[in-house]
Amino acid sequence: MNLFAGALVLAALLAVTVGVGLALRWQQNRPRRLNPTEVVDPQRLGAESLGENATLLQFSTEMCGRCPGVHRTLGSIAGDRDGVMHLDVDLTHRPDIAKHFHVLQTPTTLILDRDGVVQTRFGGTPSRSAVELELARVTAEAGGA
Amino acid sequence: MPESHAPKGIDPRGPRFAASITAVLLLIATFLALVGPSTARAATLGWFTYQPLDDSSFAFVADSWLLPQLSVAQRASDPAFVVTLVIALLFLWSVLSPRTAPWGALYRRAVAPRLAPPTDLEDPRPPRFAQGVGLAVTSIGLVLHLLGLPWALPIATAMAFAAAFLNAVFSLCLGCQLYLLLQRAGLVGRPAAV
């Protein structure tokens, strides 16, 4: 391969990588609204109870570099609001929970409403505003119903 | 941090600084591999072995890759191989002794003092795991290159480059995703103690 062709392949590699990065970042801030069918049992996750109004359920592993950052964001969001609880579950030694919730990446964040029903799912590291917006929607819906 | 047994935290900007340098080195290695013998055709040999009566052998030789025809020493002296070997050894260093690895040390000595102190500390285990993934990918490329497989080296360095670049620029961690998949396949981590 001559120098020009090599440079072309390199430029294509850069473009694809930037594209993948932008797509992944866009997807991380996109909440996926789920069919409210699953009710989470807090005992199974090693917690006493869930939040009164909503629960931010985070799944992490020991080898996850972005999980502590998401942990701080979610913890501070929950701390600012009454009745909102942040629950961080380490899946490193619990493949059964990972399988049950179909977790393929960490961090994964679920927003549960006051009844413990899974309403929203975020894969990856969502921004603070994306989580706050979705949390407001979940708590407002539950209050209005 | 939820785990009480977690080791001492590190500045999370350190691994991203190291990933930017690694990404540049991997980009150089990919370019050298693309223009080197790894992707070269052995077209000239076809002319020498050309025999009018034996069309199939001509087609095979003229269409074949250069790399398998080189000796192992020639494959190992490819500049792309040397650069990738250095990168792989740096990965190995970061896995064995993250505290003394050169880019981390450079960050703590020269970069960190010029920045504001970190607002949060990070668990050092995930970046170390990511270095292990980088070591595995580049090592596979190096071994296949030595065995004479064309394109193995640039593909391996391009994959490692993509991971390092996403980490440095987008703060995305492919290792985190990979870890859970490996764990669910039962390859790493311990099963639930029920």
Token pair 């693309």: residue: B34
Tell me what the mean pLDDT of segment A122-127 comes to.
Answer: 89
Give chain B's count of helices (H) and strands (E).
9, 0
pLDDT (0 to 100) of residue B188: 65
Tell me what the mean pLDDT of segment B16-33 comes to.
Answer: 96
* Homologous superfamily of domain range A32-144: Glutaredoxin (3.40.30.10)
Q: Is B185 on the interface with A (CB under 8 A)?
A: no
Q: Do the Cβ atoms of A6 and B180 come within 8 Å?
A: no
Residues B116-166: pLDDT tens digits?
A: 888 777 778 888 888 999 999 999 999 999 999 999 999 999 999 999 999
**Residues comprising chain B, all counted:** 194
The closest CB to that of A24, out of B120, B170, B193, belongs to B170
pLDDT of residue A42 exceeding 90, the answer is no
Tell me what the mean pLDDT of segment A53-70 comes to.
Answer: 88
The residues, any chain, with a CB within 8 Å of residue B49's CB and separated by 6 or more, are B57, B58, B61
pLDDT (0 to 100) of residue B2: 44
- Residue B186, phi-psi category: left (phi > 0), alpha (psi -120 to 50), beta (remainder): left
Q: Do the Cβ atoms of B125 and A63 come within 8 Å?
A: yes
Chain A residues within 8 A of B6 when measuring between CB atoms: 62
Residue in chain A lying closest to B132 (CA): A63
Phi, psi of A120, deg, nearest 5: -140, 150
Whether pTM > 0.90 for this model: the answer is no
Best of A3, A16, A63 to disrupt the B interface by mutation (most B CBs within 10 Å)?
A63
Q: Is B44 on the interface with A (CB under 8 A)?
A: no
Phi, psi of A87, deg, nearest 5: -125, 120
**Chain B nearest C-alpha distance from A77 (Å):** 16
Residues B80-124: pLDDT tens digits?
A: 999 999 999 999 999 999 889 999 999 999 999 999 888 777 778
**Residue A11's pLDDT band (boundaries 50, 70, 90)?**
very high
Share above pLDDT 90 across residues of chain B, in percent, rounded to a whole number: 55
Q: Is B182 on the interface with A (CB under 8 A)?
A: no
Residues A56-81 as b/e (b if ≥16 CB within 10 A, e otherwise) read: bbbbbbbbbbbbbbbbebbeebbeeb
DSSP A58-105: EEE-TT-SSHHHHHHHHHHHHHTSTTEEEEEEE-TT-HHHHHHTT--S
Q: Do the Cβ atoms of A10 and B175 come within 8 Å?
A: no
Name the nearest CA neighbour of A53 among A31, A85, A75.
A85
Best of B5, B28, B34 to disrupt the A interface by mutation (most A CBs within 10 Å)?
B34
pLDDT (0 to 100) of residue B182: 76
**Residues comprising chain A, all counted:** 145
Residue in chain A lying closest to B42 (CA): A1
Share above pLDDT 70 across residues of chain B, in percent, rounded to a whole number: 80
Residue in chain B lying closest to A125 (CA): B172
- The DSSP output letter for B120 is S
pLDDT of residue B62 exceeding 80, the answer is no
Query: Could you give the angle at which helices B13-35 and B125-146 cross, rounded to 10 degrees?
Result: 10
- Taking all residues of chain B, what is their mean pLDDT, rounded to a whole number? 83
**Residue A1's pLDDT band (boundaries 50, 70, 90)?**
confident
Share above pLDDT 90 across residues of chain A, in percent, rounded to a whole number: 50
DSSP B128-155: HHHHHHHHHHHHHHHHHHHTT-TTHHHH
Residues B178-190: pLDDT tens digits?
A: 777 777 776 665 5
Q: Is B123 on the interface with A (CB under 8 A)?
A: yes
If you average pLDDT over each of A90-94, A103-107, B34-38, which comes out highest? B34-38
Residues B18-41 as b/e (b if ≥16 CB within 10 A, e otherwise) read: bbebbbebbbbbbbbbbbbbbbee
Chain A residues within 8 A of B180 when measuring between CB atoms: 61, 91, 98, 103-106
pLDDT of residue A68 exceeding 90, the answer is no
The closest CB to that of A95, out of B3, B154, B192, belongs to B192
Q: Where are the domains of chain A?
A: 1-30, 32-144
Token pair 């407001």: residue: A136
- Taking all residues of chain A, what is their mean pLDDT, rounded to a whole number? 88
Chain A residues within 8 A of B3 when measuring between CB atoms: 62, 90
Q: Are B49 and B57 in contact (CB under 8 A)?
A: yes
